Amino acid sequence: MLRFILTRLSLVIPTFIGMTLLAFLMIRLVPGDPIETLAGERGIDPERHAALVKEYGLDKPVLAQYAIYIGRVLHGDLGKSMITQEPVVREFVALFPATIELALCAIAFALLLGIPAGMLAAVRRNSVFDHGVMGLSLTGYSMPIFWWGLLLILLFSVQLGWTPVSGRIAVKYFFEPVTGFHLVDAWLSGEPGAWKSAASHLILPTIVLGTNPLAIIARMTRSAMLEVLGEDYIRTARAKGLSNARVVALHAFRNALIPVVTVIGLQVSVLFTGAILTETIFSWPGVGKWMIEAISRRDYPVLQGGLLLLGGVVMVVNLLVDLAYGIINPRVLRAS
Amino acid sequence: MNVMNETASAAMTDANEAPPGPLREFWGSFSANAGAVAGLVIVIAVLLMAALAPQIAPHAPDLTNNAAFLQPPAWSRGGSWSYPLGTDAIGRDILSRLIHGGRLSLTIGIAVVALSIVVGIVLGMVAGFVRGVTEIAIMRLMDIILTLPSLLLAIVIVAILGPGLMNAMLAVSVVVLPHYVRITRAAVLSETAKDYVTAARLSGAGRLRLMFIEVLPNCAAPLIVQASLGVSTAILDAAALGFLGLGAQPPAAEWGTMLADAREFVLRAWWVVTFPGLMILVTVLAFNLLGDGLRDALDPKLKR
């Protein structure tokens, strides 16, 4: 096990170093003088320019500059936003719970619908239900979610008036953030109606963000189940006279879960990509919207830091999934 | 006796008929898949629509009409058949813009795939043949690109290069590159172990000949499948960049950019929002169906 963990870690470290290199080069690749880029359109007076060149170590060779950058990153210093002058890390930490809350709801939605749908489709192979699930999942996989979100707003918010159009909670509710998750905080605050408001704001973004993962998980569950259902030990289980439900739920499903878990792990990256679009459509105050706004404001430290932080989160989650995979499937452990 | 004769003659006819050629065998398998054929038909229809855009579009895509702002589609109240799908906020015909938008979206899809497949094949070949540090460096870089959320990386690249169609295409090409590199490298590694490569090497074939003439044609199947699926990803990603204001810039009639323009009218003009997205969905779905069909027909091993 230890050897397995060490092998995985040894793969992660070069990836992280590469990512810092990418983030470091990013600002260097923007045409023009980095300080003037950092200063933005207001410009900068020569004295301050010289001071900043020294501060950022821009008078040193590139390799030394990179060493300085790495040193800062390892101390958790990713620079300050040019607009708010707040440290990038602090802004990220303040906004990240909103993204996580949305992403968790979306993946829960995708799992709760996708796994049963995929299982049923596999068990009733070539039935109308199977074709329906496969057709819908290919549609969900091909869906431009930024359009899907607008359609849902059109139907549920404009036509039916069931759900709010944007934001995380109605403005009239205010409570101290404890966990950063509005669903939990609203419940803790005990304010009447607050939880309902938070939940109703979550419904559409959850569906929009969950659509792609739902499609992928349903397809993957179906194909994993089909593979497992053809195995000899399933025939043995049936021959022993076990009920169909028992065979499917206990014998087949547990083994089909192994590839599904890997796919769930891969969804983290899909979720962050989707979050950028979903948060933009629903004005959801998370890191995705934060980064899109940073582009229009040319706030490069935010982009640089956000890239590194989100990439780092994906990397860590992938590592954890890999390790979890080793635990549920000991064959992987032995192979390493 | 009679029965035996029949069996024998049946066997004779079987032997006399030439086995189906690879192309024919492929088509037999492909055409049995209804979804794949539907995908192919739609793809051809969209290609024709894009090619004939100036001939079939009722109006010029950028032509504004001050008398017809946000006019609803022909079948709703207030609509007219001169604008079958209605007009946008500055009186441009939506149908004509969608038809012309097909040109941009298909160009993006094909150009991105062409660029990433060429670079991907070269990098994958180099990684698979040269091995050592070069391979490690290439594959690590691909891992980094794969680790980062794809749209995030594309956004950052566009932020560096500046928004616009060309830069968006370049960004999407970088993001999808790892798939082609990985496929090529994996194919190269499995092919170079085979006897025909050893035979070619023994008969004095140079490295370039081995790479591109001996091995590459045998890696084609998975690459073709990935390319077909890649067109849909490219169209989708480029439309997402357009939607975020980072892709094709207005007044270009790109489907994602059209959606971005339409966003503020979502509350009062459903048609400006509905149709561009529908075009994206149908086109992407068609390429995915086509890709799935190609995969099943070309590579039975990959069939799920």
ipTM of this predicted complex?
Answer: 0.85
Partner-chain contact A291 B144, CB within 8 Å:
no
How many CB pairs lie under 8 A apart between chains A and B? Answer: 129
- Measured between beta carbons, the chain A residues lying within 8 angstroms of B256 are 144, 146
B residues 2..61 contacting A (CB < 8 A): 35
What token pair was written down for A188? 């803790």
B261-269 long-range CB contacts below 8 Å, 24 or more apart? B261/B88, B261/B89, B262/A150, B262/B88, B262/B89, B263/A150, B263/A281, B265/B70, B265/B88, B265/B89, B266/A150, B266/A153, B266/A154, B266/A158, B267/A158, B268/B70, B269/B70, B269/B72, B269/B86, B269/B89
Where is average pLDDT lowest: A78-87, A91-100, A197-206, B111-120?
Answer: A78-87
- Measured between beta carbons, the chain B residues lying within 8 angstroms of A307 are 148, 152-153, 156
- pLDDT value at residue A41: 62
Give yes or no for a contact between B59 and B98, defined as CB atoms under 8 angstroms apart: no
Q: Find tokens 């899109």 and name the residue.
A: A292
- pLDDT value at residue B83: 78
**Among B109, B91, B25, residue whose Cα is nearest residue B283:** B109
Cα–Cα dist A235/A183, whole Å: 46
Q: Tell me the per-residue pLDDT of A116-162, one tens digit each, with 9 for 90 and over.
A: 999 999 989 889 999 999 999 999 999 999 999 999 988 888 888 88
- pLDDT value at residue A32: 66
- pLDDT value at residue B172: 94
DSSP string of B229-289?
A: HHHHHHHHHHHHHHHTTSSSPTTS--HHHHHHHHGGGTTT-HHHHHHHHHHHHHHHHHHHH
Query: Which parts of chain B have pLDDT scores under 70?
Result: 1-20, 299-304
- pLDDT value at residue A129: 93
Phi, psi for residue A60 in degrees, rounded to 5: -95, 165
Q: What is the separation of C-alpha B109 from the centre of its chain, rounded to a whole number of angstroms?
A: 5
User: How far is residue B75 from each of residues A260, B55, B68, measured CA to CA in Å?
Assistant: 46, 24, 16
- Measured between beta carbons, the chain B residues lying within 8 angstroms of A11 are 143
B42-46 long-range CB contacts below 8 Å, 24 or more apart? B42/B282, B42/B283, B42/B285, B42/B286, B42/B289, B43/B283, B43/B286, B43/B287, B43/B290, B46/B102, B46/B106, B46/B282, B46/B283, B46/B286
What token pair was written down for B302? 């990959």
Among chain B residues, CA nearest to A10: B140
Asked if B249 has any chain A CB less than 8 Å from its own CB, the reply is no
Asked if B259 has any chain A CB less than 8 Å from its own CB, the reply is yes
What token pair was written down for A201? 């704001």
Angle ∠(A211,A287,B274) on CA atoms, nearest 5: 40
Helix, strand, or coil (residue B117): helix
Helix, strand, or coil (residue A87): strand
Which of A147, A268, A316 would you mutate first to test chain B, the one with the most B CBs within 10 A?
A147
Cα–Cα dist B215/A290, whole Å: 47
Rounded mean pLDDT of A169-196?
Answer: 79
Partner-chain contact A144 B256, CB within 8 Å:
yes
Q: In what helix (H) or strand (E) does residue A165 lie, and over which residues does it extend?
A: none
Beta carbons within 10 angstroms of residue A246's beta carbon: 13
- Which is higher by pLDDT, A45 or A280? A280
- Measured between beta carbons, the chain A residues lying within 8 angstroms of B242 are none
DSSP state of B67: T
Asked if B139 has any chain A CB less than 8 Å from its own CB, the reply is no
- pLDDT value at residue A40: 63
Distance to chain B for A19, nearest Cα, Å: 7
Amino acid type, B288: N
Answer whether residue A101 shows pLDDT above 80: yes
Rounded mean pLDDT of A298-324?
Answer: 86
What token pair was written down for A123? 């068990």
Partner-chain contact B285 A142, CB within 8 Å:
yes
Contact residues for A266 (Cβ-Cβ < 8 A; gap 6+):
A318, A321
Partner-chain contact B144 A18, CB within 8 Å:
yes
Asked if B277 has any chain A CB less than 8 Å from its own CB, the reply is yes
- pLDDT value at residue B122: 93
* CB-count exposure of residue B288 (10 Å: 0-12, 13-18, 19+): buried
Q: Tell me the per-residue pLDDT of A203-253, one tens digit each, with 9 for 90 and over.
A: 999 999 999 999 999 999 998 888 888 888 888 888 888 888 888 888 888
- pLDDT value at residue B3: 47
Give yes or no for a contact between A22 and A303, defined as CB atoms under 8 angstroms apart: no
- pLDDT value at residue B28: 79
